[in-house]
Structure 1
């Protein structure tokens, strides 16, 4: 085999070795989008406005600031909820490593790297209904809980897909040799 062909084969094998077998970006679920938020805030504002008119008309004007405070507290609760939705978890499996990157809603990131040959995925199940309560990557000397904000049904599907990817990574890269 010529040197050029050999280099091309080695480059292709190196790229195949680092190509992700599995990649997932996990984000917290938020059931209400922007239109829903606007609808809820409009409804709360309207109810409080009607209450304010009624209380003002009967001379109970000291109640008005509390009605405004009500709207402000609900707005701040939604704002905090949407901020926390910025957090995410990234899981990438290649034949040579498992990379887990967790980013908080503050933007602080931490990374963990595991060897797929030595890492096992443990699933903690509920005794009553069998739902997956937790997923843990276990490399013997260290463990890492993953997919913590997924609901049990999604966590189970994620666990199955990750198990398949880990098995594929343990088999190693498929080598193709040209004559």
Structure 2
């Protein structure tokens, strides 16, 4: 998912994974699976196979943990701040965990089309992949937006090696 916002001193490009379900929807799914599991486990326990009860509980706990982990990863963001002659790149979940500050004029886009489209921003010997979690269509939109915001494409390749 891509959002371009106008900020006080320039533009802000927000890249985030598509989320088909929020945490509340996942909680409803966990409750539904838990209820079905309880009914089935209770039926087995009623005929003497009580050993299934802990496994039914473990199944629901494993599903909840997996959905929580996936939901947490879907809060990952990459934010590109275009302000004057500077470009600030931030990556993280809930808050920036990594941050780079580059000059816009020295920053270029490298496009790699191996099995799928890969975008990298480079500045001198530094290189950062962006939008790894986006669809091909979204990546093409990001590329177009970055060109519109003044970044130049330094090159296309099929081997995904960035030569600085």
TM-score, L = length of structure 2:
0.77
What is the number of equivalent residue pairs in this alignment? Answer: 145
Summarize deviations over 1:148-179 as a string: whole Å, max 9, x none. Answer: 222221111011101110259xxxxxxxxxxx
Counterpart position of 2:51:
62
Other structure's SS at 1:61 match: coil
Counterpart position of 2:13:
24
List gaps (5 residues or longer) in structure 1.
1-17, 169-179
The structure whose residues are more often strand, as a share, is 2
1: CA distance between counterparts of 2:92 and 2:151? 27
Counterpart position of 1:116:
104
- Aligned-residue Cα RMSD (Å) equals 2.2
2: CA distance between counterparts of 1:101 and 1:51? 48
Counterpart position of 1:149:
133
2: CA distance between counterparts of 1:68 and 1:58? 18
Alignment partner of 1:166 is 2:155 = no
Shift of 1:35: 4.4
Bigger-Rg structure (1/2): 1
2: CA distance between counterparts of 1:102 and 1:33? 21
Alignment partner of 1:46 is 2:4 = no
Summarize deviations over 1:65-121 as a string: whole Å, max 9, x none. Answer: 10111111111111122222332111012331111011246x462211222222211
List gaps (5 residues or longer) in structure 2.
1-7, 153-164
The structure whose residues are more often helix, as a share, is 1
Alignment partner of 1:125 is 2:125 = no
Other structure's SS at 2:149 match: helix
Alignment partner of 1:135 is 2:119 = yes
Counterpart position of 1:5:
none
1: CA distance between counterparts of 2:45 and 2:63? 22
Other structure's SS at 2:51 match: helix
TM-score, L = length of structure 1:
0.71
Is the Cα–Cα contact under 8 Å of residues 107 and 151 in structure 2 kept in the other structure?
Answer: no
